[in-house]
């Protein structure tokens, strides 16, 4: 068995990690993060367009995001899109820019967010373990067809377990960092 045999499974595990990072980036931790706007689209002359493609997004203070559209006529549309989204923030439109002021989340809300982060982490772990299971089944099938030996199978199982452990540890670290960020006041 060569490193190439493990590559597709490792790539799938990396994609699981990436998906977890994207999910956690969308969690509002009380700190202004432009990634919160990534999933919000605005109707730009009939085409759903992400907000970050319609103007400059900046974070002048820890709890404020400022959106300055390149086309001033889009202010109202951007404002509507933010109100319709699940951000739970009321945008302030001053005619030139839109300000999103993030309130400090309550202790209860922060604990809820930590639970959501842990749930996302657990889902990522399940996905990684599922990838390991698929790999193990493929290797056992190869053994049945006499494409690999018993020793190769044992080595492959060890390698896949090591890969799985590495990515599970990475998930734990990512979730732990997000928890720390959420619980920060």
What per-residue confidence (pLDDT) applies to 28? 67
DSSP class of 33: -
The string of pLDDT tens digits covering residues 108-157 is 888 888 898 999 999 999 999 999 999 999 999 988 988 888 898 899 89
Q: Is the pLDDT of residue 8 over 80?
A: yes
* Domain at 3-26+106-183: CATH architecture: Orthogonal Bundle (1.10)
What per-residue confidence (pLDDT) applies to 174? 93
What is the secondary structure of 46-105 as a DSSP string?
TEEEEGGGTEEEEEEETTEEEEEESSGGGHHHHHHHHHHSTT--PPEE-SS-EEEEPPPP
Q: Structural domain boundaries of the chain?
A: 3-26+106-183, 34-101
- Tell me which of 3.50.30.30, 3.30.1360.40, 1.10.10.410, 3.30.70.3150 is the CATH number of domain 34-101: 3.30.1360.40
Q: What is the mean pLDDT of residues 98-111?
A: 85
The string of pLDDT tens digits covering residues 13-70 is 999 999 998 888 777 666 777 887 888 888 888 888 888 888 899 988 888 999 999 8
What per-residue confidence (pLDDT) applies to 170? 95
Task: List the one residue out of 96, 92, 50 whose CA is nearest residue 73.
Answer: 96
């Amino acid at each position: 068995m060569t490193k190439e045999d493990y590559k597709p499974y490792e790539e799938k595990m990396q994609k699981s990690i990436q998906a977890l990072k994207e999910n956690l980036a969308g969690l509002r931790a009380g700190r202004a993060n432009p990634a919160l706007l990534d999933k919000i689209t605005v109707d730009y002359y009939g085409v759903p367009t992400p907000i970050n493609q319609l103007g400059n997004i900046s974070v002048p203070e820890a709890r404020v995001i400022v959106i300055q559209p390149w086309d001033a006529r889009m202010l109202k549309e951007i404002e509507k899109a933010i109100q319709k989204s699940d951000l739970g923030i009321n945008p302030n439109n001053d005619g030139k820019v839109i300000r999103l002021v993030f309130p400090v989340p309550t202790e209860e809300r922060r604990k809820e967010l930590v639970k959501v982060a842990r749930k996302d982490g657990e889902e990522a772990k399940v996905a990684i373990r599922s990838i390991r299971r698929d790999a193990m089944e493929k290797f056992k099938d190869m053994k049945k067809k006499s494409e690999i030996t018993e020793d190769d199978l044992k080595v492959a199982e060890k390698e896949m377990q090591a890969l799985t452990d590495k990515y599970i540890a990475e998930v734990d670290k990512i979730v732990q960092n997000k928890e720390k960020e959420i619980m920060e006041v």
